[in-house]
Structure 1
């Protein structure tokens, strides 16, 4: 009888221990690790390829790199590092999934599958505020996390607001406090909308002031095509309306720009730029030619003063936005890599470029083992 009781007691203890371990491993949990280290100084690298990594970095103020994983947001340094390094700060939430990330100034705002918005000081990782919102899409960053950091679904920023879209609902939260400023219902789904440099949220069938949620009555008819967006379809410098007419958006009232009527034109470094006919041309908004650079190239975008081009031979060409003069010419390859890749997603910051490379002729499925060019498929370059 004693042996039976001992065995039964041991079984109960084992069961309780297993349950405790399972709860600690699988139960809801959050872990925040912040950094006491001084904020890195700005370092501008000489033009060239700096490294290759396996995950897409959200380049933060040209000082840190922020990465998305299914249940974690983290940052490392230096921004010009050739590999991924130990985290400077990190936030892990289980079992919630990271849906997307946006940044402005020194603030990082993440959206999670349970609808929580978490704002952090991007320099230290310290949490500034939290807010509850509608449930968000699950993590869709695939292997590199690019979708979460470069094109987060239903998460934008403009006019001092964090803008969240969930179906026909559009909500604006104060960037400084997390307080909900406004909530409206839109005629159509706005999850793929964009925001402008002038502080307007543009949806397929309407435009709204980002600070108040009020409709902008005189906005050109959509759906519109965003142009010159730095990252996350936020702060876009221009757009083409449903009729194909181009507009600049430095202010809340869009300004007509006939040069943007060209289907190949975009806005880079404040200049309308178009690649066609074996040349790249910079235009004034009225269509007056400012400069011409001879050669085949794709316009990637621009920093505040430079236009970035991608040549067919996989060279990055950097032009002065005011004159069209060439400032740099860099072959986008790490070491002796070949050119059997095509451009996927990418981010341009003031001094750095991060570019996700897809295997040339590969499948369309990001989960395929041969979708990306290499394991370390994200190339980092300075200019």
Structure 2
């Protein structure tokens, strides 16, 4: 028989897709796609898929280390950041332990903790869906082995300040790790961005994770990485599966990092279109969260909005699986013409 804690395991609910005729604004993908050079690299690798990749991934790690100004031994890789979370949870959790996260956030943290047989503690949010530093620290107890949450948050886009991160790190024991999930950090405005990575020099138990799925538009090939102390990375390397990153993912990732001009231009367009989309949604009469910094918009609207848009072949994310009440939605900022089609459809509905 399987383990008892798995019997009532909740399903991970992904964004509804629809077929290729739909406008997909439900999964925070970068609908502009990867750069032409990355696409060319992927195509050219089609004849080499019989080969195993370099199991050490030294070249990719060196490139990521240079990008983030750390040592190669501070880099860990995963088949998406979800796999990194899986291994870290495996390393630190048991049936007597807990994770601490925030309420109504990325649901996979909770699922992974349940797989490990650990408990889940959820700190209450602050005003206006913010991440409350006080509530996180007040929720700590001796069973907590992992503190984890995203910044920007998914699905609200709320961000956390450096001083809060340091307060949390100074409030937990050294054998408890703090994972900061930065899947959406590229979309934070320069005036609000701060570099979390330099904290790793002072805190061996601090880990930052980042992904190629959002900014780099490579969600389909599954590639994520973490930046951590060498102490953590050494154990991680011992337990990760061999060849966990495909040849295509590794080469595409290495290429994407150097495509600065392409991705920077796309980023400018996404941020400009997000501002315009937020204004139009507010003018329609929806509640729009202003302090939100992902490639998406967090809104409250009529409960039937998602279904009505689906009838018009546009998919947005209903947030019931995040434990929000009906009427809350997350909308990915798509291509300019997709955003315009969305607004046109909403105007027809309301």
TM over 0.5: no
- TM-score for the superposition, normalised by structure 2: 0.25
Return the index of the structure with the highest Cα Rg.
Answer: 1
